[in-house]
Amino acid sequence: MNLALFDFDGTITNNDNYTMFLKYSCSRMRLVVGSVMLFPVIIGYTLKLISSAATREIIAGFAFRGSNIDDVMEYGRQYSNEILPGYIRKTALDRIDWHKKKGDVIVVVSASLDVYLKHWCEKYDLDLICTGFETENGIITGKYTFGDCTGKQKAQRVLEKYNLADYETIYAYGDTVEDKELLELATIKFFRWKEVERIPLSADECDKRKNAV
C-alpha cells in the first residue's frame, strides 16, 4: 500500500480558495472595513516583509473572529458544494481515482481552511490535514488551532499522523515553495503535475518554473 499526499490550492484546484471563501462567507461591511484596516498587512506581504502564512492568519482572524463555528461550517458546506466543483482540475481527480484503484491512502495536506475542505474531502473519502480555527464555546477566537498548515508544518503533521515506514511508496503533489517540505517526504514527487527529482528551493524558482510551463 502507498501513501499519496496532495496539496489543495493550485494543485487539486486551479485557484486560491482561501481568498475566494473569505469573499463568499464574509459580509460586505466586514470586507470593506477589513480592506482598510488590513491594508498595511497587504502591503507588507506584497513587499515580502510579512510571510504568506502570517498574512493568512491575520486576515482570517479579522474575518471570522467572534463568528459561530457552526455558521461558518455551513458556509463551508455550501461553498464546497456550489463553488469548489468549478475549480477542481480533472487531472487531479483522475490521479486521485488512480490512487484509489491501487488501494492507496490519500491525504489532502493544505493551508486552506477545514470549514470547507472537510466537506470536500468527505465527498471523495480522503484524509485531511489542514488549517483549522480555534474556538471557545463554539465561537471562533480568531486564532488557528495548530497554526497555518504550510511549509515545515505540512511535513510535521503528516509525520505525526502516519508512519511512512508502513507504506511501500510515498507520492507527493505540490505547486509552490510552501510544499517543499511535503515533497521532501516523498519517493515520487510531482511539482505542478510534472514528476521531478529536485524540488524548487525558493519562491523565485517556483515562479520561473510556472512561467516555463
Round to the nearest angstrom and report the end-to-end CA distance of the chain: 32
pLDDT digits (tens, 9 = 90+) for 126-148: 999 999 999 999 999 989 998 89
For helices 114-124 and 17-25, what crossing angle results, to 10°? Answer: 110
Angstrom distance (rounded) from CA 97 to CA 211: 29
What 3-state class would DSSP assign to 190?
A: strand
- CA angle, 172 then 175 then 177, to 5°: 100
pLDDT digits (tens, 9 = 90+) for 21-48: 988 987 677 665 666 666 676 777 676 7
- Whole-model pTM: value is 0.87
Task: Please report the domains of the chain, with CATH numbers, ordered by start residue.
Answer: 3-212 (3.40.50.1000)
